[in-house]
Structure 1
Amino acid sequence: MSFLDLDRNATTPPYGAVVECVAKHLRDTPGNPGSRHAAGRRARRALEEARESLADGLGAEPDEIVFTSGGTEAANLAIAGLIRGPRLGNEGANSGPTTVLLTPGEHPAVAAPLDAGAAAGRWRVRHWPLDEHGLLKGDPLADPPPGLRFVSLLHAHNETGAILDVAPILARCNALGVPSHLDAVQAVGKLPWNFHALGATAASIGAHKFRGPRGIGALLVRSGAKLAPSLHGGHQEGGRRPGTESVALASGMALALELRLKELSEWTERTAGLRDRLEAALKRDCGAVVNAAGAPRLPNTASVAFPGCDGEALLVALDLAGVGASLGSACASGSSEPSPVLKAMGLTPELLHSSLRFSLLGEETPEEIDEAAARIAACVGRVRGEV
């Protein structure tokens, strides 16, 4: 029985050309890009070519790109480097306590460091409310909380696929002089995306979400923004992220984005059709409920509830049946708590505890989607005790 992997928001396999690119640079560009001899200069040229290619594809300037080990490090770097203000209890008479605002259901790469800072008394965290579709509701920036010094937004939700209208909010942050971070890990490579047009102070991305190599990502930082480094020990990346850069991984990341952007329109149409085919089959055969169905969504992502099922039990059954799915973010897979974003959307307990995420690569055939739907329906019937 073949394994049908419908958990592609967790990671994607690199393009074949990307594998070859990384191998070529590991073999042919072994120099340290910080060295001043010929091998170092050759490595530096390759690194800067990758930076320029990424900047062109992302609507940024080359010097606005800081290479990191992935999206998680990029988000942590933005949080540590952009929040400035007094610790709680040490605020001045007119400054107010340091407050950060973020969207509910943020990826742990954003939520965990912010929660850790709140627990340490560095700031307090407030959440932007969501509506039943997983979209932002209301406008906390119309009456900003005291001491607001940082806003972090999720551009496209990794679990529901909901795409948030972030540009107007980022413009408000700029008008207020509040630094902003955009988690674009799931958006880049799946949506038309332009850093300058969106207007964030910083944005985090990860290569392996758009068929690049694992172990490489980037933080985009607007020119002129002050970013305090969270690591120390070297001059690399303009002093913002020390450590010898991986020329091979950076080059592979740049190539992956080039390849994805060339096929983005076709990929979007094809993948959305496959997602819709899967959802229609699950609604017809399982009485499934699609979460965030009323929101604009990533073309490859479906959050689906199966009333009468326990999500954990269904996930195990699907694995045994050769279907990959998830309860949510892979980085939160060890948690038994209900999905924060689905809770924020106000789902009933039955829907909340029976929801799974399916995410496509976009290269599945209609026949594979039909086979996956049939296996899922059989597992749903067994978990419900119908067969």
Structure 2
Amino acid sequence: MKVYADHAATTPMRPEAKEAMIEALEDFGNPSSIHALGRLASAKMESARKAIAELLNCRPAEVYFTSGGSEADNWAIRAARYGAGDVVASAFEHHAVLHTLEAMERSGTRRAVLVAPGTNGIIDPAEIGRRVSSTTNMVTVMAANNEVGTLQPIQEISKEIRKNGSKLTVFHTDAVQAVGHIPVDVQKMGVDMLSLSAHKFGGPKGIGVLYCRQGAQLDPLLYGGGQERGRRPGTENVPAIAGMAAAMRTACENIEDSANTVRGLRNRLLQRIGEIPGSRIYGSIETRLPGNINCSFAGIEGETMVLMLDLAGICVSAGSACTSGSGEPSHVLTAMGLSRRDAYGAIRITLGEENTTQEVDYIAATIKNIVADLRKETRP
């Protein structure tokens, strides 16, 4: 049996996204051209922008197209026009955020103030509030963690920031893992900027969005053209944009039913994993993305487990796909207080709506057998 259980890394493309892309490929005009083909391409692009804005509950003029979530994160942190100052961030952000902050610290343009999550994988809003000072001009906290799947109290964090009188503080959230899986409303969340990536909810790879609230000034990411209101030049990828909007619409319209289905599958798998001696689950179960399980098994290395599951036809990961092969333990788990040794043992299983109970049972049985076999080999 072949089972794909690595949806946090990427998702299968939705049929609606494929259809929208094929249709847009036929209308190959440059959306910046003023002739008929150009106007047709531009109309498709702006229709997609409007659809995405409606789903995020923002204005179309606040939606900027990017090459994906990493670019959107970089842009938000590097180009938001807030002057010099501190950036308060969670210590288990995606590396697109943390490495950007590290680079800016090395250049002397920014100081990062990192806040560790609790052992449950959730940031305390009050702790963010305590770290915000007169020198803080940006806060960035992800909406859902990409490894343990825990949901962060973004609305409460926003209130803490504003409560401290930080009117000039820009609040950004990396919502790459959240959009299409849980409700996302930028007005209710109280964020100034938000990053998303299409391939995490059934859209194409290489396309994403940075939402930037009007009034939160945004400097250009690149130079050389007037696209994206002069802030992100380069001929837009209209087919990918159309595919992203179609996928996002389908994902958001069916979000409750899909979440319930996936959560049921996850809980079934959680129960069976919990029956394996020495198993451990990381992060809050209650406050978590529907399909995420991050777990380990005493005495078993995570990478070994991933490779053996792959031989059995099951795709999972040992952490974020972006750090695969780094040789380092998960910074997410160590930030949550795990030792390096324990962090090396973790695997991430992320289910999607196309998974079945038969697949979940196969995953559970295979894990149980692999753990038993590996423990026999290491027993003196």
TM-score, normalised via structure 1 length: 0.93
Deviation of the 1:352 alpha carbon: 2.1
What is the aligned partner in structure 2 of residue 95 from structure 1?
A: none
Counterparts of 2:99 and 2:293, CA distance in 1: 25
Distance 1:276 1:312, change over 3 A: same
Deviation of the 1:110 alpha carbon: 1.1
1:240 to 225, 231, 246: 231
Distance 1:278 1:168, change over 3 A: same
What is the aligned partner in structure 1 of residue 301 from structure 2?
A: 310
Counterparts of 1:69 and 1:84, CA distance in 2: 23
* 1:1-56 deviation line (CA, Å, top 9, x unaligned): x32111110000111121121011101x1111111111111111111110111111
What is the aligned partner in structure 1 of residue 210 from structure 2?
A: 219
What is the aligned partner in structure 1 of residue 144 from structure 2?
A: 156
Of the structure 1 ranges 310-319 and 38-47, higher mean CA displacement relative to structure 2 is found in 310-319
2:172 alignment partner AA: H
Of the structure 1 ranges 153-162 and 74-83, higher mean CA displacement relative to structure 2 is found in 74-83
Distance 1:14 1:268, change over 3 A: same
Deviation of the 1:382 alpha carbon: 2.4
Counterparts of 2:180 and 2:252, CA distance in 1: 7
Counterparts of 1:234 and 1:142, CA distance in 2: 42
1:64 aligned onto 2:62: yes
Contact 2:128 2:157 in 1 (8 A): no
Deviation of the 1:129 alpha carbon: 2.2
1:351 aligned onto 2:338: no
Percent identical pairs in the alignment equals: 37
Other structure's SS at 1:159 match: coil
Other structure's SS at 1:181 match: strand
* 1:279-305 deviation line (CA, Å, top 9, x unaligned): 111111344111113550000111111
Unaligned residue ranges in structure 2 (runs of 5+)? none
What is the aligned partner in structure 2 of residue 36 from structure 1?
A: 34
What is the aligned partner in structure 2 of residue 100 from structure 1?
A: 87
What is the aligned partner in structure 2 of residue 22 from structure 1?
A: 21
1:162 alignment partner AA: T
* 1:345-378 deviation line (CA, Å, top 9, x unaligned): 1124553221110001121111110011111112
Counterparts of 1:337 and 1:258, CA distance in 2: 37
Counterparts of 1:132 and 1:117, CA distance in 2: 28
Contact 2:90 2:140 in 1 (8 A): yes
Equivalent residue runs for 1:28-177 within 5 Å: 29-82=27-80, 84-86=82-84, 98-137=85-124, 138-142=126-130, 144-145=132-133, 147-174=135-162, 175-176=165-166, 177=168
Other structure's SS at 1:380 match: helix
2:262 to 259, 263, 271: 271
Contact 2:132 2:161 in 1 (8 A): no
Deviation of the 1:214 alpha carbon: 1.0
TM-score, normalised via structure 2 length: 0.94
Distance 1:322 1:55, change over 3 A: same
Other structure's SS at 1:171 match: helix
Other structure's SS at 2:179 match: coil
Deviation of the 1:182 alpha carbon: 0.5
Contact 1:21 1:252 in 2 (8 A): yes
1:7 alignment partner AA: D
1:192 aligned onto 2:190: no
Counterparts of 1:293 and 1:267, CA distance in 2: 20
Distance 1:32 1:202, change over 3 A: same
2:354 alignment partner AA: E
Counterparts of 2:200 and 2:229, CA distance in 1: 26
Counterparts of 2:104 and 2:177, CA distance in 1: 25
1:383 to 361, 370, 374: 374
Of the structure 1 ranges 347-356 and 63-72, higher mean CA displacement relative to structure 2 is found in 347-356
Contact 1:159 1:303 in 2 (8 A): yes
What is the aligned partner in structure 2 of residue 8 from structure 1?
A: 7
1:338 aligned onto 2:325: no
Counterparts of 2:209 and 2:294, CA distance in 1: 27
Unaligned residue ranges in structure 1 (runs of 5+)? 87-97
Counterparts of 1:60 and 1:287, CA distance in 2: 47
Counterparts of 1:83 and 1:121, CA distance in 2: 16
* 1:152-187 deviation line (CA, Å, top 9, x unaligned): 111001111100101122234344021121100001
* 1:232-291 deviation line (CA, Å, top 9, x unaligned): 011111111111111111111111111112211110111001011111111113441111
Counterparts of 2:133 and 2:16, CA distance in 1: 49
Counterparts of 2:106 and 2:373, CA distance in 1: 43
RMSD: 1.6
Contact 2:81 2:219 in 1 (8 A): no
1:338 alignment partner AA: P
Other structure's SS at 2:317 match: coil
